[in-house]
Each structure stands twice: as structure tokens, then as C-alpha cells.
Amino acid sequence: MNNRATQARFRNNIPRPNTRLRWLAGTAALLLLLLIAVVVWLWLRPDAPLERIATMIVPGGSAGPLKRHHEPFGVAVDDDANIYFAESLTGTIYRVEAEAFEAGGILREASIIIDGLDTPSAIALDEDGNLFVANTGAHTIVRIDLESKRSSIVAGKDGVSGNSDGTADKARFNGPVGLAVGEDGAIFVADTYNDSIRMIAPGGTVTTIAGGREPGFADGTGGDALFDTPCGIAVAEDGSLIVADTGNHRIRRVESTGKVTTIAGTGEAAEVDGAPQSAAFDEPISILINNERTFYVADAAGSAIRLCSFGENPVVTTLSGGEANRWSTGLLDGKLAVAKLNRPAGMAFLPDGEIVFAETGNGLVRAAVSEGSTIGAIADPKKSILQALEMRDLIEPRWPFDPPQNRRDIAGTLGEIRGERLPDHDAWFHNGLDIPGAYGETVHAILSEKVTRPLAVFGAGGTRERLRLPLFEYIHLRVGRDAGDRPLQGFANGAITFRRDSSGQINVTRIRRGTQIKAGQAIGTLNQLNHVHLVAGPAGFEFNALAVLKLPGIIDTVAPMIESVRITREDFEPLTSPGETGKLPPQIRLSGRVRIIVRAWDQIDGNPRYRKLGLYRLGYRILREDGSPAPGFNAPRYTIVFDRLPSDFEAVKMVYTEGSQSGYQGITIFDYLVTNQVSGGEAKESFLDTGEFAPGEYRLQVLAEDFFGNQAKRDIPITIMK
């Protein structure tokens, strides 16, 4: 009998209700169907599209326990929409109540769940509400009972690194960064510096699923597969694992059998969208599963959040940050296409499908939200990021060599041009302070800092080999080794490892996240460039190092040298010639908008006479013929100030005219466009508009200053025409 006939027979055996009962039953059924429809719609409705980036939590302020400088890494959200995040430097797990962030605005308060951890990284919640932490610096996986706020070690031994499977107390990890919890309670671990994927079964037994033989790249099964510093891991809906293979710049899939396949990324360290096998990532560090076909990737070095889709037309696209906004590293809230990110890390979903993420580079917790969302607000970088004077308070007087009190030379300053400024030549800003030394001389840390980047050493074996710590970067070193490539003393056991190429030369140096480096500790030796290039400040917001360092014995009484002043029309058509040093050019007639170009340089006491340093501050004034200031010029108009560099390196064209150069040919020319405005990390084109002044005789006064306040002036008579 078919289904329809069965239903008819069943109806015929039921007594007919009266009309009123029939009406009530029909109404109840209709309401029930309506209720079911609403529930289904709420359950299945598509989330509002993500439209913009907003800042949710900012360090600093007098309220709350958050520190002025911190690096959040892992993020999790519970069923009640409370946010948890792990802070790397203080070893603290924080919670932000849902009611606090749902009210909107930027939060400066959070409750401490637990502190005293050692460089915690990824965090995850299980079905019972326990919070699990990859306690990277201690080489353990930790469980936190959120009600009692007590922690216990799930697997590994506190402070002991190793690589062994077995029972929870016998198993050993090596700086695990990533973890995820499966539906059955199994914990999956990206055992970062063992280059392997591990599993902690619900009973506590630890097994290696794949990788672990050595760092490298290879697909395969179990130990035949190779990873390089894997950091992110997530459980897909089919039970497989999606891994951010950070050092290989690829996304890998690990099946329950241990079979590993590469599903996205070419291995090139870049940010390239397109088909998964042709797309490129730059240090992918975490994974957030969206559904069975899509997931998000936090691309740390690319400072971007990417979306990987594996439907009918698989594609990798950039949600926000990266090359979509060239030189995008920084802090800017707003539309996805223009927002600036700075090394995003852990990610989690908020109830409406919005994404909350930790941002290690800016020390913030931010979110990708829908257009109508009230979550977060627009952050002010000047209030959100550590400032130079705050950093200076952390530093003891010392030079980066031994003995630390002995005065050294300065060979380069922030903002100097490098390369040559020509249409067919590359030119860029010098972003630090150069301090010369002898080949092979040992370089010592300026400040006690913890290694927080999973990959903190770049360019091993090259002239620009460097170590990046949270507040200082040291460039032109053999990191962790002497001139003969022998390891330096002072690093914890296993904290630093080296790899060599086929010719036996070191080409990879890796320092484990969580490694503590103390002020004065030997961190490397000078390579053939014979100087250390010091970069000071959080990445993306570097300061002029002279504002931060306390350099014993440094003296500067030498005023800058102004070689020449040129005035051009708006289109750069010359109105004056450079003229000879010390001589005034003839009086010049000006009208409309003009540009002022100043050739100048500086020295410091004890510098070799051939060495020309860049200026710290340049500007100009317009004076009446009697020497009194023209309207609007009671004080000098300082237009170029190298307190910070613009985040857009193309801004070098805003500072220097064509022909400016230094660094390679032994020729140093600093031709500054002082009518443009470059300071505080921002740059914009500007002019001297002579239309602001009444016609008559004036003097243009050009000012050039070094960081220590020494000043040079040049007065030029001008006639302003109608």
C-alpha cells in the first residue's frame, strides 16, 4: 500500500472533531509551523557579509589589568559569546564578557583567568567548557577549569623539551604553538619545533600522526611527510586536520590515516590570490574552519586574513590586508579593502559569524564585522601603540657591543635614502640606526626580550640576516653563532637550531618561540657589512632609535651643513640654481605654488669627515624684509620630521628628489623636498603657496636640524608677485 493510501486510511479511523476544536487545532498547527519556520530561518539564515575591520580591545589605560605593550596570540569564544585570549609576554589568559563588547566601543578591561604561563599560543574550548592552551615556552599542553581557574598539565613536562610519544607524563613536546579539540575530546597539536602533528587521545596517550623526522617539505603518510614549523591546526567537518605549515608557506591536510597532502600554496613567501595550487601565503599561522568547503587563514607575515574556498571553483582570496592595500602593515580600521593589519594570529567566530582575531603586531584584539555591527570602534594608533618615551624607560644605558659603556660611531640614521632616486632605480628609507664594529665582533642585546615570532630569524647566511624581537630588530648578523659559524653560548638547550645547504653553509637559523633573551646577552656576530643595523619599536611602528636608546658618551655639537637651496615651480621647473655652499642665490621672484628643495647633511662628534648623516628635522619660515615673521609663520613650519617612517615606502618620493642617493656608490646626496609634509608615520604632498602673502619683499628661511638640536639656517631673499 502506498504512503498516500495509508494516510487516508489512518484519517478515516479518527472521529471527526467539532468545528471549534478543528479551528483550534488548525490554528495551533499553523503557529507551530510558523515557529518551526522561524527557528529554521534563524538556524540556516546566511550571516551578514563581513564588511569592515574594527578594534575591540586595546592595551593601556588606567583601568583593567591589560599591559601597555602586549602580544595576544590565541583566541576562543564560548557558547555564551565570551571571548578568551592568550597574551604571549605576560603568560596571561584573559576573558572579556559578551555584554562588554556587545555594547560597542573599544575595551580596555578584561578579567584574568590565569597568569604565570610561559608564552601561551593557541587556545581552544572543549564540549565541557574546559579551556586548553598550547603553553609554548613550557613545552606543555595545559587544561584550565574555567570555574575554579585552576590549571593542570594534560601532556608534556613543564620546562622540558623533547620528542617522544607515550603516556601523558612521558610524552615530550618542543614549543607547541597550535592546538584544536575534536568532538570526541581528542586534542590535536601542531608540535611546532618538532615539525610534526600530534594527537592526545581522551585517555591521555600521545601519538605522532605525521611528520617529525626533520624540518622540510614532503607530502606522504606518517613519518614520510615533512613539515616546517607548523603553527596552526583546525579540525575540519569531515574529521581531517587543516594545518598552517608556517615555514613552508603552505596549507596542508592531514587525514586520520596520517596521509598528508598540500591543498594550497606554492611555497613562495608571498601574498598571491588565485587557484589554491597557484596561490601563495607568507607565514600562515592559524586556521578557522567556516564550513565543509571554506576556511580562513591568518597570514602573519603577509598581514592579511585570507579565505580558502573549495567548491566548484576553488580559489584563495584576501579578505583584508596584504597586497590589496600595498604596504598595508599597520593599524587602520575601516572597510576590508583599505584596513591595515599587523601580523594577525588566532581567530574565532562570534555568534553572528563575525570573526574576532588576535593581532600580535599591533598588540590588539580586532574583528572583521558586518556593516551594521556595533562591535568595536576605530582605534587611534597614537593612543594604541607603545610610544618612544615609554620604550626608553625600559632601557638601561648601553651600546650593543662589549664593553657596553664604550662610545661607538654612528654610521646611518632613520630616514636616510638608500639606493638612488631615479625612475629606473629602486630607492627606500633607511629604517634604523647603524653602529659600526669589526668583522666577527659579538653583538649583544640592548633589552631583555622574549622571542615571540615562530620564525624570528630571516635571511640566514645572507648579508641581511636578522633577528626580530618584539621591540628591537638586529640586522647584518650571524645570528646565534660566531664568525666561524660555531654556536654562541647563552641560549637555552635546543632553543636555537641551524640547517645547512648542500655545500655545508648555514641557510636556516631557527630560534624557538618563548626563548628568553637577556639584556647584554650575545645574540650574534657582525657579518661582512661590519655594522649592526638597529631597528627600534614594534614592527610597523618603528621609532627613531636615537629617541629610544641611551648611548653612553655620545656627544653631538656639530651643526648640519646646508649645501644649497633650490626653488622650483609646482611642476619642478627650476626657478633657482643650486648655488655654491655658503653663498645666497640671487633674489628670486615667486608666484603661485612652489617647491623648496634643500641639499643638506649632518655629522656627529668623532665621525669620519667623509661620513654624511641624514637630518632629523627640516622646515622653513617666511619672514618680512625687516625680519619679523609673516602671517602664519610665528614659529617655523617643520615639515619633515624623522620620528617615524611612513608605512608606505613609496613615500621616499615625498622626501627626496631625483638624484638623491646613498649606500652603494660612495656618493651621498640628500636633496630634501621640504615643502612636503612627512612626520609621525604619515606623508603627503604640499607646497608653499605664495598667494597667501601680500606682494612684496620677503626672506625664505630654511632650517635643518639633527636629533640633538643642532641647527643650521639659510636665508634667501625672495619677491612675491601678484
CB 365 within 8 A of CB 56: yes
Say yes or no to pLDDT of 57 above 60. Answer: yes
- pLDDT for 102 equals 84
- pLDDT for 2 equals 37
Q: What is the DSSP letter of 118?
A: S
pLDDT band at residue 609 using 50, 70 and 90 as cut-offs: confident
pLDDT band at residue 40 using 50, 70 and 90 as cut-offs: very low
pLDDT band at residue 384 using 50, 70 and 90 as cut-offs: confident
- pLDDT for 17 equals 45
Say yes or no to pLDDT of 12 above 60. Answer: no
- pLDDT for 608 equals 87
Mean pLDDT, rounded, for 500-507? 94
Say yes or no to pLDDT of 196 above 60. Answer: yes
Select the more confidently predicted residue: 425 or 587: 425
Cell numbers linked to 588: 628670486
Cell numbers linked to 563: 649645501
| Distance (Å, whole) CA 674 – CA 657 | 10
Say yes or no to pLDDT of 622 above 60. Answer: yes
Beta-strand relationship, 140-145 and 150-155 = antiparallel
Say yes or no to pLDDT of 582 above 50. Answer: no
| Distance (Å, whole) CA 447 – CA 137 | 19
Task: Round the average pLDDT of the chain to a whole number and report it.
Answer: 90
Instruction: List, in sequence order, every residue forming a beta bridge with 164; answer none if it has no partner.
Output: 172
Say yes or no to pLDDT of 511 above 70. Answer: yes
Q: Which tens digit of pLDDT belongs to each residue from 685-697?
A: 999 999 999 999 9
- pLDDT for 650 equals 84
Say yes or no to pLDDT of 359 above 60. Answer: yes
Tracing cell 649645501 back to the chain, one arrives at: 563
Say yes or no to pLDDT of 238 above 90. Answer: yes
Say yes or no to pLDDT of 7 above 70. Answer: no
Reference 672, options 633, 624, 615; nearest CA is 615
Tracing cell 590589496 back to the chain, one arrives at: 324
**Dihedral over alpha carbons 143, 145, 146, 147 (to 10 degrees):** 180
Reference 647, options 538, 486, 527; nearest CA is 538
Select the more confidently predicted residue: 556 or 646: 556
- pLDDT for 59 equals 61
| Distance (Å, whole) CA 299 – CA 72 | 15
Q: What is the DSSP letter of 48?
A: P
Say yes or no to pLDDT of 20 above 80. Answer: no
Name residues whose C-beta falls within 8 Å of residue 608's C-beta, 6 or more positions apart in sequence. Answer: 409
3-state secondary structure 492-504: CCCCEEEEECCCC
Q: What is the DSSP string of 443-477?
A: EE-SS-EE--SSS-EESTTSTT-EEE-SSEEEESE
pLDDT band at residue 13 using 50, 70 and 90 as cut-offs: very low
Q: Which tens digit of pLDDT belongs to each residue from 140-171?
A: 999 999 999 999 999 999 999 999 999 999 99
Q: Which tens digit of pLDDT belongs to each residue from 288-347?
A: 999 999 999 999 999 999 999 998 899 999 999 987 544 568 899 999 999 999 999 999
3-state secondary structure 248-285: HCEEEEECCCCEEEEEECCCCECCECECCCCCEECCEE
Q: Determine which of 109-118, 186-195, 253-262 has the lowest per-residue pLDDT on average.
A: 109-118
Helix, strand, or coil (residue 98): helix
pTM: 0.90
Tracing cell 591595515 back to the chain, one arrives at: 340
Mean pLDDT, rounded, for 490-500? 93
Q: What is the DSSP string of 178-235?
A: EEEE-TTS-EEEEEGGGTEEEEE-TTS-EEEEEE-SSSS-B-EEGGGSB-SSEEEEEE
- pLDDT for 35 equals 53
| Distance (Å, whole) CA 249 – CA 301 | 10
| Distance (Å, whole) CA 582 – CA 253 | 69
